């Protein structure tokens, strides 16, 4: 399972599996990306992070508040070819990202201002290994009626690992078969299903995909897979 210590000490070239070095961001490039993102911070209000996948159940960073939230203008899609972490080059899976259109429900986390840079550096090492996401400041609707500005990791469609075809008939076999140093691709899918159910959230991209992966693996609904990260 991903932990703070794992991320702090991880060698990005090896800890997540074999990553094509031509796509791997250097520490200097990650730092530049973070600096550029912070330079676009719209105001001095608290920094929130929007979690819509594994950040929901294992954020790793410290936060002072977490609330259910809705992001408008983007939807979940398993559109990122997964060749490390929970997949390999030989048996790639699919990772979750956000694409234009629709809306997404997830969790918003408010970061402590006095530890902001430390927490964001940890997050960048986790999410921006290859620069596949565009960190974007977006408005969220919290469940208590507040509107906040949050950092959201949105798929970069120009990235070489972007996959346009997310039909469940295409990606279910990939998710069912893929695994890597962090576990199986199916574990990730089932953990997301469980977390959405815990919060009473529904996502149309999930139901048929989960059903097909369970059929392929002969796993019954409610089966709890260990080792989630």
Identify which of 167, 162, 173, 137 has the alpha carbon closest to the alpha carbon of residue 152: 137
Identify which of 206, 220, 181, 195 has the alpha carbon closest to the alpha carbon of residue 10: 181
- Give long-range contacts, CB 8 A cutoff, 24+ apart: 99-103: 99/74, 99/75, 99/154, 99/155, 99/157, 100/73, 100/74, 101/73, 101/74, 101/75, 102/73, 102/74, 102/75, 103/70, 103/71, 103/72, 103/73, 103/74, 103/75
> CB neighbours of 98 closer than 8 A, spacing ≥ 6?
52, 71, 74, 75, 76, 77, 104, 152, 153, 154, 155
Active site annotation includes 127:
yes
Please pick, among 64, 113, 127, 163, the residue that the annotation labels catalytic.
127
> CB neighbours of 119 closer than 8 A, spacing ≥ 6?
61, 62, 111, 112
Element holding 118 (H helix, E strand): helix 116-127
CA angle 21, 97, 189 (to 5 degrees): 100
Residue 34 main-chain phi, psi, to 5 deg: -65, -45
Give the residue numbers annotated as catalytic, written as ranges: 127
């Amino acid at each position: 399972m991903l932990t703070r210590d794992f991320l702090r000490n991880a060698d990005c070239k090896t800890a997540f599996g074999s990553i094509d070095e031509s796509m791997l961001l250097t520490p200097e490039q990650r730092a530049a990306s973070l600096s550029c993102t912070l330079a676009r911070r719209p105001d001095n209000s608290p920094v929130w992070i929007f979690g819509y996948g594994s950040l929901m159940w294992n954020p790793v960073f410290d936060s002072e508040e977490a609330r259910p939230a809705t992001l408008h203008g983007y939807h979940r899609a398993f559109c990122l070819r997964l060749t490390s972490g929970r997949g390999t080059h030989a048996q790639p899976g699919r990772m979750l990202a956000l694409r234009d259109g629709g809306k997404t429900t997830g969790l918003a986390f408010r970061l402590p201002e006095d530890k902001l840079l430390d927490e964001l550096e940890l997050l960048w090492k986790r999410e921006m290994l290859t620069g596949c996401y565009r960190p974007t400041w977006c408005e969220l609707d919290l469940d208590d009626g507040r509107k906040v500005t949050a950092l959201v990791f949105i798929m970069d469609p120009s990235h070489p690992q972007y996959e346009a075809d997310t039909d469940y008939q295409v990606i279910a076999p990939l998710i069912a078969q893929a695994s890597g140093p962090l576990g199986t691709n199916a574990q990730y899918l089932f953990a997301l299903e469980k977390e959405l159910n815990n919060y009473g959230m529904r996502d149309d991209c999930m139901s048929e995909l989960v059903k097909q992966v369970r059929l392929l693996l002969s796993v019954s609904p409610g089966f709890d897979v260990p080792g989630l990260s």
